[in-house]
């Protein structure tokens, strides 16, 4: 709907509301007239409203930028588990693990978690979270480098096979963050050990 049509609809609504202050000669006729005015004004504005409400809301950064999102990786059912490569740890898939990251390694603000797993078993206390963010790789790396440095972790940054990797340790705790460009944003894999 054009600006002119929007303005006309708004003026019609204001005129209908202004009619509320008039003293009616016959309340039944006036009520019908007001209903008619409001219905006509609402009908004029309806195509824009229906057009906006009829569209899907896009929240994936790559789709919002006009691209197509890759198929979502299969994370398995909540409660499903997978063993580590050495077989010493078993990790359970569940989105709840994303909320159990160490305070200094939160999900990037505004990001959407795509997969999460973790373990609290002795010697295997780890969190593994993948997410998509509508931010460039450099912004995400800077965000985490600042947080881990303030928390006393070391921070080593490498560019490796199309991804930027940030990793470090603090005592027995460690983290590994891989950030790759994806459409208008980035995909992130974050692993926290001992958190």
Residues 25-78 have pLDDT tens digits of 555 565 666 556 655 655 554 555 445 455 555 555 555 555 555 444 444 455
% pLDDT > 70, the chain: 56
pLDDT band, very low/low/confident/very high, at 122 (cuts 50, 70, 90): confident
**Do 48 and 65 lie in a common domain?**
no
pLDDT band, very low/low/confident/very high, at 8 (cuts 50, 70, 90): very low
Q: Residue 164: what pLDDT?
A: 95
pLDDT band, very low/low/confident/very high, at 18 (cuts 50, 70, 90): very low
Total number of domains in the chain: 2
Q: Residue 117: what pLDDT?
A: 92
Domain end: 13, 36, 53, which one? Answer: 53
Q: What is the mean pLDDT of residues 166-183?
A: 95
- d(CA 101, CA 193) in angstroms, rounded, equals 10
Contact 141, 166 (CB under 8 A): yes
Contact 190, 101 (CB under 8 A): yes
Average pLDDT in the chain: 75
Q: Kindly report the pTM of this predicted structure.
A: 0.59
Domain around 169: 61-193
- d(CA 87, CA 121) in angstroms, rounded, equals 13
Q: What is the mean pLDDT of residues 145-165?
A: 94
**Do 138 and 94 lie in a common domain?**
yes
**Do 113 and 40 lie in a common domain?**
no
Q: Residue 25: what pLDDT?
A: 52
**Do 112 and 140 lie in a common domain?**
yes
Q: Residue 124: what pLDDT?
A: 86
**Do 119 and 156 lie in a common domain?**
yes
Burial 135-163 (b: 16+ CB within 10 A, else e): bebeebbebbbebbeeeebebeeeeeeeb
**Do 40 and 89 lie in a common domain?**
no
The domain that holds 141 is classified in CATH as 3.30.310
Q: Residue 101: what pLDDT?
A: 95
Q: For residue 80, what are the β-bridge partners?
A: none
Q: Residue 66: what pLDDT?
A: 57
- d(CA 137, CA 185) in angstroms, rounded, equals 8
**Do 38 and 86 lie in a common domain?**
no
**Do 46 and 95 lie in a common domain?**
no
């Amino acid at each position: 709907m054009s600006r002119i049509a929007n303005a006309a609809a708004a003026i019609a609504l204001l005129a209908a509301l202004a009619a509320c202050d008039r003293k009616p000669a016959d309340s039944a006729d006036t009520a019908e007239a007001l209903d008619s005015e409001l219905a006509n004004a609402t009908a004029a504005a309806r195509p824009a409203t229906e057009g906006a409400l009829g569209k899907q809301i896009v929240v994936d950064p790559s789709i919002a930028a006009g691209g197509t999102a890759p198929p979502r990786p299969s994370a398995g059912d909540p409660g499903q588990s997978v063993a580590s490569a050495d077989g010493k740890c078993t990790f359970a898939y569940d989105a709840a693990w994303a909320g159990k990251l160490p305070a200094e390694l939160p999900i990037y603000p505004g990001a959407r978690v795509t997969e999460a797993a973790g373990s609290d078993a002795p010697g295997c206390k780890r969190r593994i979270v993948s997410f998509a963010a509508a931010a460039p790789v450099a912004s995400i790396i800077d965000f985490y480098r600042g947080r881990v440095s303030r928390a006393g972790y070391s921070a080593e940054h490498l560019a490796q096979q199309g991804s930027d990797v940030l990793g470090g340790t603090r005592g027995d705790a460690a983290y590994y963050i891989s950030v790759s460009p994806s459409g208008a944003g980035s995909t992130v894999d974050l692993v926290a050990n001992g958190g």
